[in-house]
Amino acid sequence: MIKVYGIKNCDTMKKSFDWLNANNIAFEFHDYKKLGVDQKTLQHLLQQCTLQTLINTKGITYKKLSEEEKVLCLKANTALPLLQEKTSMIKRPILQLEGEILLGFDPNSWAEKLK
C-alpha cells in the first residue's frame, strides 16, 4: 500500500487526496503535523532525494526562519532535527511506494507511476 506523508489541511494535500480517491488508489496517510516524523524516516527519504528537494523553501515556515536556521538547513545532520521540530517545512505530499518516493503533487508523473 502507498503511504502518503503530509499535513491534512494543506491545499496541495487536498488536491492529492482528491486525485488518489478519483483514481481509486488506496493509501495510508501519515499526518506529520499530528504524528510527527522520526529521524529514521527522514534519513530514509534522504536516500531517495536531496535535502534541497525535501525542504519546502517556498512555504511560510521556511521563510520565517532566521538566517542562522536557514544555514542549518544546508546539512542533513543539522536540518533533520529542525524538520522534526517544524514539520511544515517538509515538502508535501510525499508518496512512499515500494522502493521509491514521489515528492510533490504531479498528476502526470503520478499517473505514470501509479496506474
- Catalytic (active-site) positions: 10
> Distance (Å, rounded) from C-alpha 43 to C-alpha 80?
8
> Distance (Å, rounded) from C-alpha 15 to C-alpha 104?
11
Give me the residue label for grid cell 515528492.
103
Where does 7-114 show beta strands of DSSP type E? 27-31, 94-96, 101-103
